[in-house]
Amino acid sequence: MAPEFLSWLTDGSTPLYLAPQAGVSESPFRRLCRRFGADVVVSEFVSAAGIVRNTERSHGYLRFDDAERPIGIQIFGADPSVMADAAALVAEVYAPDFIDINFGCPVKKVVKRNGGSGCLRDLDLVERIIRAVVAATPLPTTVKIRSGFDEATRDPVGIALRCQDAGARVLCLHARTRADMYGGHARWSEIRDVAAALEIPVIGNGDIACGEDARRMRDETGCAGVMIARGSHGDPWIFRRARAALDGDPMPSEPDVDERFAVCLEHARNAIAFENDSDRAIVDFRKHLGWYTKGLPDGRRLRTELFQSNTLEDVESMLERYRSEQGALASV
Ligand SMILES: Cc1cc2nc3c(=O)[nH]c(=O)nc-3n(C[C@H](O)[C@H](O)[C@H](O)COP(=O)(O)O)c2cc1C
């Protein structure tokens, strides 16, 4: 039987995806996003070479909780046989709902070794990687691409058709080239062109900053699903707003400060529980503290303090002090 997320992609319900994001779409955040309305989540990219070498670090990225399903594990690499071995191992040991291949990562270290968006310079290699992964696992193989490596190779429809021919079951397009990095705007017209050209479902990605953007992307491009990355930072609630916009329901209210802090602390506790090293976990968590407190009155001062926190107790007392100071100000 086809996994549920594949049927959602053809029945017009427009599932919302939490995007794969290194250092962000980890298990604790994926669980929160699922609770607030993400229909599908994807792990951060994991090195296929690291998986087959059984490095502790790579395997740490592969763990997930059943509450996160449907979940895809995203892998990257430039060697088709290593990618195939990694996909087979992930399917057998971790049994996610799908395997996603990263052809979008713009980071120099990855591109230099032809991984991520580096593959987009050699579409024969892209095809060989997809075919190898499809043959190695019974799980659906999905791919995430950019529109090209640079302006000269920009050809989202051509690249996407080759991915489909090679056996990809779903294709996600981040409508920028590698050379664009994160600059300018994602070209949603390219998502529309790819969605029109392909038989497989196309997920649109790029620049969803609010719930209404998700509806606009669906309506302007005809994409089968919408993927959100940066818009979810410090704001897992974006998924319930996006769902309301897609379904034409009343827009849920923004979370108040108490809810924001409660979810931030829950996220922090889970992040610490998930990591073996709690000191490192809280330092890694500082970016989320910055995001959860964005836009608050006197938020800059609070963030300066939070960026110096070394323990969960530090964070708890800083947030509590902020609440009582703001409460006192409000009652003057
Ligand atoms: C911090 C961060 C980490 C990312 N890591 C990955 C990754 O591991 N794999 C991937 O395919 N894309 C990765 N991306 C790209 C996002 O999945 C997404 O394509 C991009 O941010 C555009 O979507 P947005 O405009 O909603 O942010 C990352 C993006 C960010 C901001």
- The pLDDT value recorded for residue 212 is 98
Non-local (6+) Cβ contacts of 235 within 8 A are 291
State the CB neighbour count (10 A cutoff) for residue 324: 9
Q: Which atom of ligand 1 is nearest to the CA of 186?
A: 25
Residue 210 is a catalytic residue: no
- The pLDDT value recorded for residue 5 is 85
- Cα(19) to ligand 1 centroid in Å equals 6
Answer whether 115 contacts ligand 1 (Cβ < 6 A). Answer: no
* CATH C-level class of 4-247: alpha beta
- The pLDDT value recorded for residue 2 is 67
- Cα(326) to ligand 1 centroid in Å equals 35
C-beta separation of 238 from 220 below 8 A: no
- The pLDDT value recorded for residue 332 is 61
- Regions of the chain where pLDDT drops below 50: none
| Domain boundary assignment for the chain | 4-247, 257-331
- The pLDDT value recorded for residue 218 is 98
Long-range Cβ pairs for the range 321-325 (8 Å, 24+): 322/296, 322/298, 323/257, 323/258, 323/261
- The pLDDT value recorded for residue 112 is 86
Answer whether 102 contacts ligand 1 (Cβ < 6 A). Answer: yes
- How confident is the model over 108-129, as pLDDT tens digits? 988 888 889 899 999 999 999 9
Non-local (6+) Cβ contacts of 108 within 8 A are none
- The pLDDT value recorded for residue 107 is 87
Q: Which atom of ligand 1 is nearest to the CA of 146?
A: 19
Q: Token pair of 41, please?
A: 């989540």
Nearest CA to ligand 1 atom 7: 21
Answer whether 205 contacts ligand 1 (Cβ < 6 A). Answer: yes
